[in-house]
Amino acid sequence: MTTHPSIEHHPDLAEMRSRFERATSTPIAQGVEALALLTGLYLAASPWIVGFNGLTTLAVSNLIVGVAYALCMGGFRSAYEQTHAMAYCAVAIGVWTIIAPWVVSGAVDTTRTIVNNVIVGGVAVVLGLAMTAVAGRRRERA
């Protein structure tokens, strides 16, 4: 009976892990990840910072979506090879943040709520797209 080595020691797997580690260790990737974490945390806390926590459904939506965004974009550093596709999810979260004031709360009458969500959602979309670009550029070079 022959024994086969574990897949963990396969040369292709080691090369792939090395490539993904190089991708996440660039200053651009680290900067995007840091800004994304801050964006997610701000989005989660924005109902209380901006002052629309009285709109309960939108406040809960922002809290959940903000935490999800921070977790989604925060996973790149620790397990990039498994989570690089989650950047597309981050883009979808950003789009949801932009349209949430109208979808969740109906016709929101506060300008600050709309402005907050549109700006934060736009930043979230840009950061998600930036992370997908970093992942794509690294894949092309390898």
- Encode pLDDT of 36-72 as tens digits: 999 999 999 999 998 887 878 889 999 999 999 998 8
Residue 4, in any domain of the structure: no
The dihedral of CA 104, 118, 88, 80: what is its sign? negative
Q: Tell whether the torsion through CA atoms of 13, 15, 17 and 20 is positive or negative.
A: negative
| pLDDT score for 125 | 95
Mean pLDDT for 96-122 is 87
Q: Is residue 23 part of a domain?
A: no
d(CA 127, CA 69): 11
- Please report the pLDDT score of residue 94 as a whole number: 95
Instruction: Tell whether the model's pLDDT for residue 121 goes beyond 80.
Output: yes
Q: What is the pLDDT of residue 137?
A: 59
Q: Tens of pLDDT along 79-95?
A: 555 556 677 888 999 99
What letters, b where the CB count within 10 A reaches 16 and e where it falls short, cover 90-107? bbebbebbbebbeebbee
- Please indicate, yes or no, if residue 22 is contained in any of the structural domains: no
Its pTM stands at 0.75
pLDDT of residue 132: 80
| Confidence category of residue 8, pLDDT binned at 50, 70, 90 | low
- pLDDT at 114 exceeding the cut of 80: yes
Q: Which amino acid is at 62?
A: N
Question: What residue numbers bound the domain in which 102 lies?
Answer: 28-141
Question: Would residue 12 count as lying in a domain?
Answer: no
Contact 139, 84 (CB under 8 A): no
So what's the pLDDT on residue 131?
83
Residue 100 lies in a domain: yes
Total count of domains within the chain:
1
Tokens of 3: 């024994």
Structure tokens at 83: 């989570």
| Any domain includes 130 | yes
- Higher-pLDDT residue of 106 and 84 is 106
Does any domain span residue 60?
yes
| CA–CA distance, 83 with 56 (Å, rounded to integer) | 31
